[in-house]
Amino acid sequence: MRATVLRTQLSGVARRPSRLLLTGLAVLVASFVVFAAVLAQQITARTVEATAASTPAATDLVVGDPEGTPVGVDVLRELRDLPGVAEAAGRLDSGLALGESGGGYLGLHADPGTGPLALARVVQGSYPDAANEIAVTPRTAERMGLTVGTVTTTGSGTPTGPVKLTVTGVVESDDDGGQDAYAPDLIATALGGTDLLSQIDLRLTPGASPTAVRTQVDGILAAVAQPERPVVRTGAQARAAEAELAVARLGPVFALVGMFISIAVAAAALVATSTFRIVFAQRMRQLALLRAIGANRGRLAGALAVEGALTGLVAGTVGVTIALVLGHALPVLLRAFDLTVSSPGLPLAAALAVIAGATLVTLVAVLAPAFGAARVAPLEALRAASTTSGRRDIGAIRLVGGLLLAAGAALLAGLVVTRLPGPEPVDYNPQTPLLMIVISGTLAFFALVTLGPVLVRPVLWLVGWPLRRLGPVGRLAVGGIGGAPRRAAAVSVVVALGVTLIAGVLVGGSSMRVLGERELAVSAPADFEVTAAAGTTLPAAVVEAARGRGEIRNLTPYRRLDGLALSRTGDPAPIGEGGETLDATDLVLSGLPEVRKLDVRSGRVADLGPGRVVLAGYVTWDTGLRAGDAITLTREQRKIDVRVAAVLPGATPLMSGVVLDPADLDRLGAPAGYAGLLADAARSGEDGRSAAQKALRQVTEGSTGLGLTVLADKRDEINGLVDTLLGIAIGLVGLTVLIAVVGVGATTALSVVERVRESGLLRAVGLSRGGLRFMLTTEASLYGLIGATLGLLLGVPYAWLSIEALGANAPLRFPALPLAALFLALVALTAVAGLLPARRASRVSPVTALATDT
């Protein structure tokens, strides 16, 4: 009997393979994504392994370990004299200060410069071979003006004191940060004032016995006392260790990817449950017939569950296979474009695990629909019309459960709200509130799943009004969704999950970007800064000369003044504990484009002017000063009354407590000389920046004690990092959206099959083919509309709460444009998902449709 029931089900599957595909599609996509991630991890790990090792391939033995104890130069000398050692290259990464204080910085690397162990290759001039000679990278030569033949001086603060350095050549290496110099090991150690190396690479003479050499090396090292004794590894071991370290650094990234993928898998399970429910509902009469002729509930449910597991097995296998094919094709394709990417292996165990997981997830997903369907009354078989319209309400238990979940979510969120950190949190750990938010969000999502059918109608009423006005077809579409709220809820909730995640990333990203821009406007207000040594001022000639240079623009010199006391006007008590004083600048905030990105806590930065000052946030935290308040600034005997034009959330550019108009700074007795200047490169890009740096260097040459700092590089780095992180995050949460869209497509396709009679009737009473297509496509887009609305309603507040809970003093943003684009994209995507089923439905002739017995 069991076999008979099962056979009936399975032959039904065989007769309509498209249904199997539709129910399994979400699981298929999820299996694909999971296995693709496994392969991507392999590809990345192998690629990193192949490229991350910095020890040259020609190295036979490595003495010492950069992470461990250093090796003395005396060991290097002894190793060089060993028979069987062809070459010994000491490695060292140290730094050199140039010129007077703040004159510049060079990263100094020890390298042989020629031969198989060289990491740097000479492209111009010659490699250093005498004391106080260096070679530099091309970018360094360009940026710092260290062309071949240049003689520069090391800083007086360096261990060896000021020495004259000669640039003998330009070398290329894998890593060119724009401030890198190379020299042979012993010259480098002498310059760095040290006799320690980080590691020594050995190359043996051809034919030399590695074991024999190794024994001799060990003999030399035996002279070193134990805690400092360096380790000896083969070149292969060293390279493997370096690769392993690089791969291990990727670990957290893959952990994050795994987290998002598990959310996508959960979404796939929800979609599968929903589609199984629809498919079983369509077979209600057949199931009722089986019950009528004597199949019991358990057997029926068992047969349906087996069908589900089979679906998962097939979907998982197909998904894994597609991923495997693509995973092996992609590196080959990339190599055709000269990108070195390793191929993944054939992780059979992982493949089987993914297929087993897909089967299990589908089995879990099918259980509730299977038991629900098995509960069908045998009498259903005898009902004439197949208009078993789905229930519109939910049971009391489900309602109570959903409300409890919602209450739990609200309670946790409320708890987080009451414990939000102030503007200046002390010892604040955001981990607990963030965890609470995650739990609250999960509860809220399950509340959405539970209460979905009840929520669909109000949301539909809200978002459906423009469609209802679109005429009878729009009304039909809205009615079609509203008529099956359980189904609409099941799909929309998955869309909502995706939208919640993306909206969270967009809102969070927008806040982080503002926070980043604020930080950068403060820490890097311009591309370059030239500063005078403490207590001195810039020579007027330098400022004048800088003004005349076309390579730079937005030149903004500024003065500094410290020792200011601040009080509310009319209240002699100074603000600030224990006579704490402020420093001030007269930086013209409107002069620099970066500074205009500053956001304010109150007031307007543009109002800065005579008698109007801008305060750093920390000045106001204890006092509650706001824009418009009158304050008195006192320095020694001078006193001025001013008003607060704006209060910044954090520090001011140049980190002063208060920014004044130059006239006000004069009234406080500031000297005329500038403390420093800020400037931007006139042209964008690497060339413009190099030219500007060169110009500023020429301008400051000849004046002692001037420091030139390139702030722009850091800004680029941070901006690039933020962009990359946002891109990765959106890509990952996009997986969930992909599965949601697949779910919408499958649901529309299945409901089109189910409602083929309805389509036939509409065609019979005069709905055109296009009209029917429009109606069904609109229905699909309505799933997206409902889901996106719910997703935004959940995602934006939760993102705001998370930002507040982070305690990073980040502003709350509503990125209206990206969110609107997300909303429209989801509606469009779900509409596209409905397009194919709608086309199929509109092609069926009305006679066939009306005659169909579903």
Partner 1 sequence: MSSQHHAAPVAPPDQSRAAVAAVDLVKVYGSGDTAVRALDGVTVGFGRAEFTAIMGPSGSGKSTLMHCLAGLDSATSGQALLGGTDLTRQSDRALTTVRRERIGFVFQSFNLLPQLTAAQNITLPLDLAGQRPDRDLYAHLVDVLGIGDRLGHRPSELSGGQQQRVALARALVSRPEVVFADEPTGNLDSRSGAEVLSFLRDSVRDLGQTIVMVTHDPTAAAYADRAVLLADGRIAGDLARPDHASVTEALHRLVATR
**Closer by beta carbon to partner 1, 340 or else 845:** 845
Distance in Å, CB of 752 to partner 1, minimum: 15
Q: Pick the stretch among 26-34, 78-86, 322-330, 846-854 that binds partner 1 (CB under 8 A).
A: 846-854
Distance in Å, CB of 836 to partner 1, minimum: 20
491 binds partner 1 (CB under 8 A): no
3-state secondary structure 92-145: CEEEEEECCCCCCEEEEEECCCCCCCCCCEEEEECCCCCCCEEEECHHHHHHHC
DSSP letter at 424? S
Per the CB < 8 A criterion, the answer to whether 732 and 256 are in contact is: yes
336 binds partner 1 (CB under 8 A): no
Distant-in-sequence, close-in-space partners of 349: CB < 8 Å, separation ≥ 6: none
Distant-in-sequence, close-in-space partners of 166: CB < 8 Å, separation ≥ 6: 132, 133, 134, 149, 150, 151
Distance in Å, CB of 472 to partner 1, minimum: 4
Per the CB < 8 A criterion, the answer to whether 611 and 667 are in contact is: no
**Closer by beta carbon to partner 1, 1 or else 384:** 384
Binding residues for partner 1 restricted to 373-392, rule: CB under 8 A = 384-385, 387, 389
Binding string to partner 1 for residues 554 to 583, with x set by CB under 8 A, is what?
------------------------------
Tokens of 676: 């420093």
Distance in Å, CB of 471 to partner 1, minimum: 7
**Closer by beta carbon to partner 1, 151 or else 847:** 847
395 binds partner 1 (CB under 8 A): no
**Closer by beta carbon to partner 1, 531 or else 759:** 759
266 binds partner 1 (CB under 8 A): no
**How far is Cα 845 from Cα 743, in angstroms, rounded to an integer?**
27
479 binds partner 1 (CB under 8 A): yes
Pairing of strands 602-603, 552-558: unpaired
771 binds partner 1 (CB under 8 A): yes
- CA-nearest of 497, 395, 784 to 403 is 395
**How far is Cα 824 from Cα 819, in angstroms, rounded to an integer?**
9
Among 210, 425, 430, 483, binds partner 1 (CB under 8 A): 483
Q: Pick the stretch among 149-157, 305-313, 430-438, 843-851 that binds partner 1 (CB under 8 A).
A: 843-851
847 binds partner 1 (CB under 8 A): yes
Distance in Å, CB of 421 to partner 1, minimum: 50
**Closer by beta carbon to partner 1, 475 or else 643:** 475
Among 339, 768, 817, 828, binds partner 1 (CB under 8 A): 768
Q: Pick the stretch among 239-247, 618-626, 812-820, 840-848 that binds partner 1 (CB under 8 A).
A: 840-848
Distance in Å, CB of 483 to partner 1, minimum: 3
Beta-sheet strand order (sheet of 676-681) = 552-558, 676-681, 528-532, 706-710
Q: Pick the stretch among 158-166, 494-502, 705-713, 753-761 that binds partner 1 (CB under 8 A).
A: 753-761
3-state secondary structure 478-544: HHHHHHCHHHHHHHHHHHHHHHHHHHHHHHHHHHHHHHHHHHHHHHCCCCEEEEECCCCCCCHHHHH
Among 143, 299, 560, 757, binds partner 1 (CB under 8 A): 757
**How far is Cα 254 from Cα 202, in angstroms, rounded to an integer?**
36
763 binds partner 1 (CB under 8 A): yes
Distance in Å, CB of 758 to partner 1, minimum: 6
Beta-bridge partners for 639: 634
**Three-state secondary structure call for residue 416:** helix
**Closer by beta carbon to partner 1, 11 or else 389:** 389
**How far is Cα 173 from Cα 462, in angstroms, rounded to an integer?**
62
**Closer by beta carbon to partner 1, 293 or else 764:** 764
**Closer by beta carbon to partner 1, 523 or else 852:** 852
**Closer by beta carbon to partner 1, 509 or else 760:** 760
Burial class of 711 by CB neighbour count within 10 A (0 to 12, 13 to 18, 19+): middle
The C-alpha torsion from 169 through 173 and 178 to 184, rounded to 10°, is -50
Binding residues for partner 1 restricted to 457-476, rule: CB under 8 A = 471-473, 475-476
How far is residue 406 CA from its own chain's centroid?
Answer: 30
Beta-sheet strand order (sheet of 232-234) = 85-91, 199-204, 61-63, 232-234
**Closer by beta carbon to partner 1, 473 or else 819:** 473
- CA-nearest of 338, 74, 365 to 195 is 74
Q: Pick the stretch among 694-702, 763-771, 781-789, 796-804 that binds partner 1 (CB under 8 A).
A: 763-771
Among 430, 846, 852, 854, binds partner 1 (CB under 8 A): 846
597 binds partner 1 (CB under 8 A): no
Q: Pick the stretch among 121-129, 305-313, 367-375, 757-765 that binds partner 1 (CB under 8 A).
A: 757-765
Per the CB < 8 A criterion, the answer to whether 576 and 565 are in contact is: yes
Distant-in-sequence, close-in-space partners of 297: CB < 8 Å, separation ≥ 6: 291, 371, 374, 375
**How far is Cα 95 from Cα 498, in angstroms, rounded to an integer?**
49
Q: Pick the stretch among 52-60, 441-449, 477-485, 661-669 that binds partner 1 (CB under 8 A).
A: 477-485
Beta-bridge partners for 136: 170, 181
Among 72, 155, 169, 480, binds partner 1 (CB under 8 A): 480
DSSP letter at 583? E
Among 347, 425, 482, 574, binds partner 1 (CB under 8 A): 482
- Contact positions toward partner 1, by CB under 8 A? 384-385, 387, 389, 471-473, 475-476, 479-480, 482-483, 757-758, 760-769, 771, 845-847, 850
